[in-house]
Chains A and B, each alone.
Chain A
Amino acid sequence: EADIYQTPRYLVIGTGKKITLECSQTMGHDKMYWYQQDPGMELHLIHYSYGVNSTEKGDLSSESTVSRIRTEHFPLTLESARPSHTSQYLCASSEGLAENTGELFFGEGSRLTVL
């Protein structure tokens, strides 16, 4: 069973507010990811990290930012939320071996609604 946790699970917030979505994993994985998914659509990679102090932007442009100060923690921040940020955000992690199949372990997701 994967040990990766996201909080909050659900968040409804007004436009202009700053929000942070938390993601923690206890598996010691080097690689962590944030995906964004709208209903009926594919998961889009918005950020990833190969380890502490390493962060990269994904394929989908996002106004969010991430940090990786500790191996187990990969928070995502929106400085000023807008209705266009309404979506589900999924955090994932994987082992850091080059030989791995790319299998990701996902958290349960954070569903964000910006009014």
Chain B
Amino acid sequence: DQQVKQNSPSLSVQEGRISILNCDYTNSMFDYFLWYKKYPAEGPTFLISISSIKDKNEDGRFTVFLNKSAKHLSLHIVPSQPGDSAVYFCAASLSSYKLIFGSGTRLLVRP
């Protein structure tokens, strides 16, 4: 039973446009949500997080939105750059000691 789902395995956007990556979850007990970015042959790196008591968190070009009633979060990247091309993993934290990951979305930003 997959508790964190990323239903889009891939996304392609034009440089300068907005990238929107989506994530759905099933467990209402999750207290933090995180996005990780992974380049080939490297480990994931932390990108941005949001507490379950907030609905938005912004860091430069990256904004994460949380809709608790829909159990949905999204990552917006504006403007998208070719260097943003990577696999993005959504993750949810349970009691701050364990992360449950989605299957990832591969983002390609075309020049």
Judge whether A42 and B99 touch: CB under 8 Å: no
Judge whether B41 and A108 touch: CB under 8 Å: yes
| B51 CB, min distance to chain A CBs, angstroms | 7
Restricting to A14-28, which residues have a CB under 8 Å from any CB of B?
A: none
B12-20, B60-68, B77-85, B101-109 - the one binding chain A: B101-109
Grouping DSSP codes into helix (H, G, I), strand (E, B) and loop, the B interface class, with mixed when no group exceeds half, is strand
Nearest A-chain residue to B89, judged by Cβ = A43
Q: Which of under 10, 10 to 19, 20 to 34, or 35 or more describes the interface residues of B? A: 20 to 34
Judge whether A40 and B104 touch: CB under 8 Å: yes
Judge whether A103 and B43 touch: CB under 8 Å: no
Chain A contributes a number of interface residues (CB within 8 A of B) equal to 31
Restricting to B35-67, which residues have a CB under 8 Å from any CB of A?
A: 36, 41-46, 49, 51
- Judge whether B34 is part of the interface by a CB distance below 8 angstroms: yes
A residues less than 8 Å from B32 (CB atoms):
101-102
Judge whether A102 and B99 touch: CB under 8 Å: yes
Judge whether B103 and A42 touch: CB under 8 Å: yes
- Judge whether B4 is part of the interface by a CB distance below 8 angstroms: yes
Task: Name 14 interchain pairs, CB-CB below 8 A, sorted by A.
Answer: A6-B43, A43-B44, A43-B89, A45-B98, A45-B99, A45-B100, A48-B98, A101-B49, A101-B51, A102-B93, A102-B96, A103-B46, A106-B36, A109-B43
